[in-house]
Chains A and B, each alone.
Chain A
Amino acid sequence: MDIVKTDKLVFEYIRRDEEGNPVDVTTALDRVNIDVKQGEFVGILGHNGSGKSTFAKHLNAILYPTEGKVFVNDMDTMDDSKLWDVRRSAGMVFQNPDNQIIGQVVEEDVGFGPENLGVPTKEIWERVEESLRAVDMIDYRKKSPNKLSGGQKQRVSIAGVLAMHPKCIILDEPTAMLDPSGRREVIRAIRGLNDVEKMTVILITHYMDEVVHADRIFVMDKGKVVMQGTPREIFSDVPALTKLRLDVPGPTRIAWELKQKGLPLPDGILTCDELIKEIQKCR
Chain B
Amino acid sequence: MILFIAKRAAQAVLVMLVVALIAFALFRYVGDPINNMVGQDTTFEQRQELRQTLGLNDPFFVQFARFVGHAVQGDFGQSYQLRQPVSELIAQRFPATFELSMVSALMALVIGIPMGVYTALNRKSISSRLFMTLSLVGISLPTFLIGILLILFFGVILRWLPTFGRGEVVQIGWWSTGLLTKSGLESLIMPAITLAIFQMTLIVRLVRAEMLEVLRTDYVKFARARGLKPRTVNFTIALKNTLVPVMTIIGLQVGSIIAFAIITESVFQWPGMGLLFIQAIHQVDIPIMAAYLMLIALIFVIINLIVDILYVVVDPRLRVSGK
Q: Please indicate whether A and B come from the same complex rather than being unrelated chains.
A: no
